[in-house]
Chain A
C-alpha cells in the first residue's frame, strides 16, 4: 500500500480546471521536486493537498497513510502530518510568532491525544530551533509575518515546520525572494529535518534550492499534470534548456 498517493486528480477553482489527471506517489523518506513554468498548477497542487476551500476536486483521490484525506478539513490533514510551507506566508496581526507557535503545536498535540506542552518546555524547544535558523528572540515577540522581509518569512515557515515535525512537508517556492545566505539557512533547515520517515515535496522554478537539498525525484509539471519524471539531472537540464520542449510536446 503506498504511503502517499494522488490518483487521477482533477481539481480547480470555481471557473477553471487546473489539475488535470494528476498522479504522484511519494514513499517515506523521499524528496520530490516539482518544477514547471508559471501558471501550470504547482501552487494549486500544494493548496489542494492542504485542503484550501478555494479549490474543489471534481474527481480522483489523495491517500495519506491509507486514509482518503479529501473529505478532511485542513487542520486534520495538518495534524495527520502534512505541512504546507507557503510561497507568500500570511500576516497575522495581533498574534505574536511565539503565541502562534503555541496555538499550532498544542492544537496538533490535542488532535493526537497528547497533553499540551507547558510554557517552559515550549519556550526551550522554540529557542533551540530559532537559534539554528538565525531567528532572534525579538522576532518571536513580533506579530506573525507583519512587516517581515521575504527572507524572514521563509525562516519563520521553516521554524514552524521544524517544530511541527510533519511527515510530509510541501514547500511552495521556499527559495523565492531569498538571497544566497538566506537560501543556505533555509536549505540547511530542511536538510536537518530529513530522515527515513519524513518526505518532502519541493515546488520550485529553478534548481537553485535543489543544489542544496538533493531530490530523489524531479517531476516536470505542465498544464496541470506531470509530463516527465527523472532524477536531479532533469533539473540541471531544465536550467540549461528551459521548459520549451515540454510546452510544445
Chain B
C-alpha cells in the first residue's frame, strides 16, 4: 500500500508539499520538524483514498495543513503516533464539498509517551448534495503522564440537502491528561448576519464574508506565504463558485 517512506533526520527541518494523494509513512527523528502541506489538485471524476502515518521521536514536531476539495470521492486518513516524550503535533484540516462529492477526513492521534501535545482544528463546508464525514480521535495509552490533546471541528452547511456527519472521540486510559474537544454543525449565524446588515453590509456580502472568515481563521495560521497563496486561491475559487 505504501507509495513512499520519508525520514526527517535528527535536528533537521523539512517542508513537504503534496499536490497529489500519496500513501506515506513518515518518521520524524529526535528534535526534527516537519511542515506538511496537502493541497490536492485532482480531476472531478476521480475516486481516491490515501493515508499518511507519521511517527514522532523525542521532541519532534509535525505540523500539517490539509485542504480536501477535489475529486468525486476523496478519503484521507492521517495517523500521528507521538512515540516519544515531548513530541508535538498540530493538524489543521479544511474540507469543502459541493454537488455530489463525498469527502471524508479521518485524524487519529496516539499519545504514546509523556509530555506529548496534540491540537486538531478542522473546518468544513458542505453545499448542494455533498456528503462529508469527519472522524477525529485522541487516543491516550495507559500510564502516560502530562498529556495535552485538543480537537475542534466545525462544519457549515450552505444547503439543507447536504449531509454532514462527524464522530469526535476521546479514548483516554490514563490520568494526568488534559483533553478537550468540541464539534458543531450548523448554518450561518443569523445574529451575525443581522449585525452586519445593521452596519450597511448587504445580506449576500455578509454571507460571503462570514463563510470566508470561517475558513480563514484556520488558513491564516499558515506562515509560509507561498503556500498560503496557493491554499487561498483554491479556497477562494471554491467560495466564488458556491456563493453566487
Contact = CB atoms under 8 A, between A and B. Distances in A.
Interface string A99-113: 010011001100100
B133 interface: no
A95 B209 CA distance: 8
A53 interface: yes
A94 B21 CA distance: 29
B238 interface: no
A107 B217 contact: no
A93 interface: yes
A174 interface: no
A64 interface: no
A160 interface: yes
B3 interface: no
Nearest to B204: A75
B190 A53 contact: yes
A77 B194 CA distance: 12
B196 interface: yes
Interface stretch (A26-34, A81-89, A125-133, A211-219): A81-89
B198 A74 contact: yes
A104 B195 contact: no
A75 B209 CA distance: 15
B198 A83 contact: yes
A103 B197 CA distance: 11
Interface string A163-178: 0100000000000000
A195 B213 CA distance: 37
Contact of A108 (B195, B200, B210): B200
A79 interface: yes
A114 to B, nearest CB: 12
A157 B97 CA distance: 36
A92 interface: yes
B205 A103 contact: yes
A74 B194 contact: yes
Given A92-B192, A103-B205, A51 B213 contact: no
A61 to B, nearest CB: 20
A53 B209 CA distance: 20
B199 interface: yes
Contacts of B194: 50, 52-54, 74, 90
A147 to B, nearest CB: 13
Given A94-B214, A95-B209, A107 B192 contact: no
Contacts of A74: 194, 197-198
A73 B217 contact: no
A94 B205 contact: no
28 contacts: A50-B194, A52-B194, A53-B190, A54-B190, A54-B194, A73-B197, A73-B203, A74-B194, A74-B197, A75-B202, A75-B203, A77-B198, A78-B197, A78-B199, A78-B200, A79-B200, A83-B198, A90-B189, A90-B195, A93-B214, A94-B212, A94-B214, A103-B201, A103-B209, A107-B201, A108-B199, A111-B200, A164-B200
Q: Which 8 A-B pairs have the closest CB atoms?
A: A94-B213, A74-B197, A104-B199, A108-B200, A90-B195, A78-B200, A94-B217, A107-B200
Given A53-B190, A95-B209, A107-B199, 13 more contacts: A73-B197, A73-B202, A73-B203, A75-B199, A75-B200, A79-B200, A86-B195, A90-B189, A91-B192, A92-B195, A93-B214, A107-B201, A164-B199
